[in-house]
């Protein structure tokens, strides 16, 4: 309880300090939203020409796009502390965290909250809702619950990637940029049906970096599409939990990184 209320206090302070520069805040909000609208327009243009992709219509892909967009926007909003962790380490802020009576993971997590990602989030939600209105989806409570779990799981997935990037700072002072290939690239890849990719690519993004588990497979279930890759229905239903598992594993990796930092001090 203490941690939760403290977290909301952190968030409150962050929001207030970001609101100080109101004009830049509003500008950011709109520029972010428009960037992702443009992204979606590109996809729409593509469909204007090809009509469908591996049996997916534009609005089905829109649903997919909305899902991944929501997850990424929320992850960037709340997980930003890990994204900018490299600077914290360089500035010596991590030592400060170690002399506070709180866990390090918690402190880095609570360190940042980027309200302006709301622009991106709103836009992703809008695309999801518009796509839904153009599709015939039979919604049940279970399905809504499943979708929500998938979204949370997808958010965990992206946060986990940020955590991997942050943890790598304990080894190399320059955080590996490679992780951006997975985060931004993940959003891009996740916007298209997974079945268009090659088998080794699919394997990698299912079992190693479980992007497909938090996006593609859940969307199959929600949209009621037939699974074409030979994954059992149970597998599809359980897929979203891979996001939580992935985050759990990266948290262990984080802990390992911290203990390394404490024994080497860089």
Partner 1 sequence: MIEVDNLSKTFKVYHHRKGFFGSFVNLFSRKHRTVQAVDTVSFTVERGEIVGYLGPNGAGKSTTIKMLTGILVPSSGSVTVNGYVPHRQRKESAKHIGVVFGQRSHLWFDLPVQESFELLQRIYRIPQAQYRQNVEIFDELLNLGDFFQTPVRQLSLGQRMRADIAAALLHNPDVLFLDEPTIGLDVVAKARIREFIQRINAERQVTVVLTTHDLDDVEKLCKRVILIDNARLRFDGELTTLRRLLSTERLLSVDYAEIYPDVSIPNAHIVYQEGARVQYRFSPEEISAADLIGAILKKFKILDISIQEPDIEDLIKTVYEDNLMLERKLAEPISPDTQAN
Binding site for partner 1 (CB under 8 A): 2, 5-6, 9-10, 13, 17, 91-93, 95-96, 98-103, 171-174, 176, 259, 262-265
Instruction: Provide the minimum distance between the beta carbon of 17 and partner 1 in the complex, in angstroms, as a whole number.
Output: 5
- State the minimum distance, in angstroms, from the CB of residue 5 to partner 1: 8
At 210, list the tokens: 């479980």
Q: How far is the CB of 2 from partner 1 (least distance, A)?
A: 7
CB of 101 to partner 1, least distance (A): 4
* Residue 53 bridge partners (DSSP): 56
Q: 24 vs 262, which CB is nearer to partner 1?
A: 262
Closer Cβ to partner 1, 8 or 30, answer by number: 8
- Residue 133 or 263: which CB sits closer to partner 1? 263
Residue 171 or 188 having the CB closest to partner 1: 171
CB of 25 to partner 1, least distance (A): 14
Q: Which is nearer to partner 1, 27 or 171 (CB)?
A: 171
């Amino acid at each position: 309880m203490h941690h939760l209320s403290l977290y909301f206090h952190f968030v409150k302070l962050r929001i207030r300090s970001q609101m100080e520069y109101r004009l830049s805040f509003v500008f950011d909000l709109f520029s972010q939203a428009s960037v992702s609208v443009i992204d979606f327009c590109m996809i729409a243009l593509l469909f204007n020409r090809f009509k469908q992709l591996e049996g997916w219509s534009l609005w089905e892909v829109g649903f997919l796009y909305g899902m991944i967009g929501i997850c990424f926007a929320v992850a960037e909003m709340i997980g930003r502390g890990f994204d900018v962790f490299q600077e914290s380490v360089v500035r010596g802020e991590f030592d400060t965290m170690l002399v506070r009576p709180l866990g390090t993971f918690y402190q880095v997590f609570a360190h940042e909250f980027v309200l302006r990602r709301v622009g991106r989030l709103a836009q992703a939600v809008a695309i999801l809702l518009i796509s839904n209105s153009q599709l015939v989806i039979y919604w049940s409570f279970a399905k809504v619950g499943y979708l929500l779990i998938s979204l949370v799981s997808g958010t965990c997935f992206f946060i986990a990637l940020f955590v991997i990037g942050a943890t790598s700072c304990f080894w190399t002072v320059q955080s590996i940029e490679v992780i951006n290939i997975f985060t931004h690239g993940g959003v891009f890849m996740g916007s298209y049906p997974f079945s268009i990719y090659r088998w080794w690519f699919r394997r990698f993004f299912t079992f190693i970096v479980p992007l497909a588990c938090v996006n593609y497979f859940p969307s199959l279930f929600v949209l009621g599409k037939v699974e074409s890759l030979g994954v059992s229905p149970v597998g599809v239903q359980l897929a979203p939990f891979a996001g939580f598992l992935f985050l759990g594993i990266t948290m262990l990796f984080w802990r390992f990184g911290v203990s390394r930092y404490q024994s080497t001090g860089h």
